[in-house]
Amino acid sequence: MPANAVVIGVDSSTQSTKAAFTDAETGRLLAVGRAPHRVSGAGGARETDPEGWWAALAEAVAAGLKELDGLGVTAPAVTGIAVAGQQHGLVVLDRAGTPLRPALLWNDTRSAPQAASLTEALGGRDAWTARTGSVPVASMTATKWQWLRENEPAVADAAAAVRLPHDFLTERLAGVAATDPGDASGTCWYSTATGAYDPVLLDLVGLDAALLPPVAPTGGTRVGSLTAAAAERLGLPAGIAVAAGTGDNMAAAVGLGLGGAGLLDHPVLSLGTSGTVFAATRTRPASAALAGFAAADGTYLPLACTLNCTLAVDKVASLLGLDREAAEAGGEVVLLPYLDGERTPDLPGASGLLTGLRHTTTRQQILGAAYEGAAVTVLRALDEVLRACGQDPAAPDTAARPLRLVGGGAMGRHWVETVRRLSGRPLLIPSSGELVALGAAALAAAAATGEDAVALATGWGAGSGKELPAVERDVEAWERVSSVLGRASGSLLGW
């Protein structure tokens, strides 16, 4: 790697694109360009034009280059690029690589009926986890493809290529089709048991394997070079390394130094639009309660994701006319903020639930209850992740292991206090707020050098940060929320 080399890690999320220009040797973040995405759809629909992602990537890279130029660093210093994208989205292309319709995003819940029918068609939840590590829910790509076949058959029949969001962008960069095991494992047509697309599952959903991209060994594998056309569009040198890239959660794990060359079985809680919990492990997960993903480096990434986290709590704050930090512990109030349905538990048709109101209840307590409802939901899922890693969630040595808290919510005082109070665990809050982009940058550096991406990220120290000791767990609040979940089981929530 040349001295002063720079790599670009791209975080293409639901709402925006970030392009992180990173010193390839030290991992120092030199510049970050940003550009927004447009998400459309009402009810359960959530869609984005993939061309908007490509335009946003160009805009974000241009903004980053402008910031980089102020440091006296120019585009020729860039040696590699990798994309980490929002998982599960369905992109269908014609023979020219042009999208046939807007992409169906991960949080599009219209395919819930297809998820149920596919689960039954294969023989139930256990049959799916044995093959893929995951059970179909409305988030998964296979259910969206089945929805497309049933609702827009002409589009499905016209498809010449089927891609995930990060696959689409990687192909635009390198001119070749490619994906990685991590993001592929979120489709429900890739088998974590065999490390390949599963012909039985492809047949089940009527999908020709020829429409899918080849799977690279790791997300840091060099799959090609930046084409002349892409270089001209982005203002970057042609021929630089393009990595296979991965999904956003897998990239965050790399950025934290989690994986075979780093930390194993260390839990992470990400507080964003969605709430996500995961850990890197060598044990292949096969729990119907989890998404048993592959990691970007060849290990595994058992993961659970809730649809309703910071965005839902912010909506409650807005309805109450409060600042998001103007919250108090919920008292007797319980609020399950399932405003977009829910993925964990699998309740695509659910709505918010508020109970326990008194004359003495304050707006601040209602807001605090929204935090508690979201936090308990995702922390219950964390227990399943720990079990998938062979750990007892209640064991003292497990509880003493720091919970890495990341995402936008990790910068919010009340989010941190709520997670700390309800988990009773010590917290580690990494100093970097761009872990997905930094993980992608490590994949780009790996593609340019042939080194291990997790080892590179570990050397960069991106996962280090502020440590908070454990506080006594608020068992009363935990049991109050859990009791409402239990009473609603089999009726409103079905959990």
Is 208 part of the annotated catalytic residue set? no
Q: Is 8's pLDDT higher than 80?
A: yes
In this prediction, residues 49-68 reach a mean pLDDT of 97
Q: What is the pLDDT of residue 490?
A: 52
Task: Choose, from 183, 198, 248, 383, the residue flagged as catalytic.
Answer: 248
Q: Which tops the pLDDT comparison, 346 or 218?
A: 218
Residues 71, 67: Cα–Cα separation, whole Å: 7
User: Model pTM?
Assistant: 0.91
Q: Report how far apart the first and last C-alpha atoms of the chain are (Å, whole number).
A: 52
Digit-coded pLDDT (tens) for 170-184: 999 999 999 999 999
Lowest mean pLDDT among 158-167, 203-212, 265-274: 265-274
What's the pLDDT band for 492 if we cut at 50, 70, 90? very low
Q: What is the pLDDT of residue 493?
A: 42
HEC string of the chain? CCCCCEEEEEEECCCEEEEEEEECCCCCEEEEEEEECCCECCCCCCEECHHHHHHHHHHHHHHHHHHHHCCCCCHHHEEEEEEEECCCCEEEECCCCCECCCEECCCCCCCHHHHHHHHHHHCCHHHHHHHHCCCCCCCCHHHHHHHHHHHCHHHHHHCCEEECHHHHHHHHHHCCCCECHHHHCCCCCEECCCCEECHHHHHHCCCCHHHCCCECCCCCCEEEECCHHHHHHHCCCCCCEEECCEEHHHHHHHHCCECCCCECCCCEEEECCCEEEECCECCCCCCCCCEEEECCCCCEEEEEEECCCHHHHHHHHHHHCCCCCCCCCCCCCEEECCECEECCCCECCCCCEEECCCCCCCHHHHHHHHHHHHHHHHHHHHHHHHHHCCCCCCCHHHHCCCEEEECHHHHCHHHHHHHHHHHCCCEEEECCCCHHHHHHHHHHHHHHHCCCHHHHHHHHCCCCEEEECCCCCCHHHHHHHHHHHHHCCCCCCCC
Lowest mean pLDDT among 77-86, 192-201, 279-288, 364-373: 279-288
What's the pLDDT band for 494 if we cut at 50, 70, 90? very low
What's the pLDDT band for 216 if we cut at 50, 70, 90? very high
Share of the chain above pLDDT 90, in %: 86
In this prediction, residues 235-253 reach a mean pLDDT of 97
Q: Is 489's pLDDT higher than 70?
A: no
Does residue 87 have a known ligand-binding role? Answer: yes
Residues 485, 495: Cα–Cα separation, whole Å: 7
Share of the chain above pLDDT 70, in %: 98
Per-chain mean pLDDT for the chain:
94
Domain ranges of the chain: 6-250
| Fold type of domain 6-250 | Nucleotidyltransferase; domain 5 (3.30.420)
In this prediction, residues 59-74 reach a mean pLDDT of 94
Does residue 359 have a known ligand-binding role? Answer: no
In this prediction, residues 253-272 reach a mean pLDDT of 95
